[in-house]
Structure 1
Amino acid sequence: MTLHPSIDSGFRATDALFSGGTLVCNCASNPVKVRIKGDIAHNHACGCTKCWKPEGAAFSIVAVAPTDNVEVLENGEKLVVVDPAALIQRHACKQCGVHMYGPVEREHPFQGLSFIHPERFEEKGWAKPGFAAFVSSIIESGFDPSKMDQVRARLKSVDLEPFDCLSPGLMDYIATWTAKKNGVLPG
């Protein structure tokens, strides 16, 4: 099982003095570049079905930065909001699909923050993920619910405490029901 390439390959040491950098999409030519001023916070593995994930990864890696510290540097015309109705306004490259930043603009506890994928930084030294969120949600992408105990054990083995609302068993049940309803898993 591939959690995420940055997790599976063993995370590199962080730099206590990391002060931001440039996120780059996956385009071979004319990539979108977004500058993040300052450090990131709340870096974590995320199993939700909304976050961008590298090919084959069960989880994304996502952190937040103040939206005021986010600046599109190059090729911003390639960006499109993935789901205008969503709380997080994920701006993705129309060409390669990588989510570059996602501000929360509505009234919400996260208003004023932008969600980013730190593995897209050109620079090294960003903080490693500190936990895993929405773990049960990987079921909604078609992950086998009977293997969730293995997923949680693997996350814990790399020091990522798995979190969900309610108990893991109940969250697996809800996510399995949703996946079956949506035709992602057989009914």
Structure 2
Amino acid sequence: MVSLHPLIDNGITKGSPDHAGGVLYCKCASNPVAVTLGTNVAHNHACGCSKCWKPAGALFSIVGVVPREQLSVTANESKLAVVDASAAIQRHACTECGTHMYGRIEVEHPFKGLDFVHAELSPEPGWQEPQFAAFVSSIIEQGFDPALIGGVRDRLHAAGLDTYDCLSPPLMDLIAAYTAKKTGVRK
């Protein structure tokens, strides 16, 4: 059976709503990059896009967001480099092991001010569990057999995750509200 993501395949563990944050580490055996988060993640979800960092063999990443001011690189920042400077989300990855430590939006965007992170990189329990699955059909663009996508959606649903081929309705609503305000349709 193909791996969706270890945090889904092995059963989703409920997080703690009052989790206070912690430290994320890259996969380097020595001198790992450390990123400290001063709060729990929000909107944590399984993501099938082709840009997010995924564990080896997994079809999905697990990614959430934190306010930018709640993230600081606390060790080995010199090992970080932006993966794709043309992308809206500037994913900062370790140049030695390739692990994406955080993604930051520097351009005008509805999610500017939020940093994208992989809480699974922390040894501490209690992080918000995945809430939904986004960009599910994007795994097909990466070579997954379209005839098997129904089974992937079934497994995600069985794990308790609603599936979308974009973001969840609340996040799409935030994007639409941002756009309406930016264009002057709403104040």
CA distance in 2 between partners of 1:122 and 1:34 (Å): 12
1:155 match: secondary structure: helix
CA distance in 1 between partners of 2:24 and 2:45 (Å): 17
Structure 2 gap segments, 5+ residues each:
167-187
Percent of aligned pairs with the same amino acid: 56
Corresponding residue for 1:169?
none
Corresponding residue for 1:55?
56
CA distance in 2 between partners of 1:13 and 1:147 (Å): 28
Q: Could you tell me how far 1:48 is from its partner in structure 2?
A: 0.2
Corresponding residue for 1:117?
118
CA distance in 2 between partners of 1:74 and 1:144 (Å): 40
Q: Could you tell me how far 1:122 is from its partner in structure 2?
A: 2.2
Q: Does 1:105 align with 2:106?
A: yes
Corresponding residue for 2:68?
67
Q: Is the Cα–Cα contact under 8 Å of residues 41 and 127 in structure 2 kept in the other structure?
A: yes
Alignment of 1:138-177 (within 5 A): 138-165=139-166
1:63 match: secondary structure: strand
1:148 match: secondary structure: helix
Q: Could you tell me how far 1:134 is from its partner in structure 2?
A: 0.3
CA distance in 2 between partners of 1:45 and 1:130 (Å): 8
Give, as a single letter, the amino acid of the residue that structure 1 aligns with 2:155. R
Root-mean-square deviation (CA, aligned residues, Å) is: 0.8
Count of residues in correspondence between the two structures: 165
Corresponding residue for 2:94?
93
Q: Could you tell me how far 1:10 is from its partner in structure 2?
A: 1.2
CA distance in 2 between partners of 1:95 and 1:85 (Å): 21
CA distance in 2 between partners of 1:140 and 1:54 (Å): 18
Corresponding residue for 1:35?
36
Give, as a single letter, the amino acid of the residue that structure 2 aligns with 1:48. C
Q: Could you tell me how far 1:13 is from its partner in structure 2?
A: 3.0
Q: Could you tell me how far 1:144 is from its partner in structure 2?
A: 0.6
Give, as a single letter, the amino acid of the residue that structure 2 aligns with 1:153. D
Corresponding residue for 1:81?
82
Deviation digits for residues 103-153 of structure 1, max 9, x if unmatched? Answer: 111111000010001100121100100100000001122111110110111
Deviation digits for residues 7-29 of structure 1, max 9, x if unmatched? Answer: 11112231222011000000000
Give, as a single letter, the amino acid of the residue that structure 2 aligns with 1:15. S
Structure 1 gap segments, 5+ residues each:
166-187
1:55 match: secondary structure: coil
Q: Is the Cα–Cα contact under 8 Å of residues 12 and 159 in structure 2 kept in the other structure?
A: no
CA distance in 1 between partners of 2:70 and 2:6 (Å): 27
TM-score of the superposed pair, with normalisation by structure 2: 0.86
CA distance in 2 between partners of 1:125 and 1:88 (Å): 26
